[in-house]
């Protein structure tokens, strides 16, 4: 049986793309689109392939999002 619980997003924590996608309940491809469109700020340390996303960035995106009825 698949787990449906989401990670709690902590403002001072750092997340991988996969962890951020799981916390938001979206697919990795959706998360990548959110990053590409500038909705999420990411950090990519020099010489590393890994992309890091702060909890502050995730929470900021969520607070800037308008919830539409019937969406």
Measured distance CA(46)–CA(66) in Å, rounded: 34
Tell me the CATH number at 47: 1.10.10
pLDDT-based confidence at 8, cuts 50/70/90? confident
How confident is the model at residue 56, as a pLDDT?
Answer: 94
pTM: 0.76
Q: How many domains does the chain have?
A: 1
Measured distance CA(12)–CA(9) in Å, rounded: 9
Q: Let me know if residue 71 belongs to a domain.
A: no
With 90 as the cut, is the pLDDT of residue 7 above it?
no
CA dihedral in degrees (56, 20, 31, 41; nearest 10)?
30
With 90 as the cut, is the pLDDT of residue 49 above it?
no
Q: Which of 65, 14, 7 has its CA nearest to residue 43?
A: 14
Mind listing the pLDDT tens digit for each residue in 20-41? 999 999 999 999 999 999 999 9
Q: Let me know if residue 9 belongs to a domain.
A: no
Are 8 and 29 in contact, with CB atoms under 8 Å apart? no
Are 42 and 57 in contact, with CB atoms under 8 Å apart? yes
């Amino acid at each position: 049986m698949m787990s449906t619980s989401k990670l709690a997003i902590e403002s001072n924590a750092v997340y991988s793309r996969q962890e951020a996608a799981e916390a938001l309940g979206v697919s990795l491809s959706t998360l990548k689109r959110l990053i590409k469109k500038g909705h999420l700020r990411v950090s990519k340390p020099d010489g590393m392939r890994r992309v890091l996303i702060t909890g502050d960035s995730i929470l900021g995106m969520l607070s800037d999002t308008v919830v539409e009825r019937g969406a």
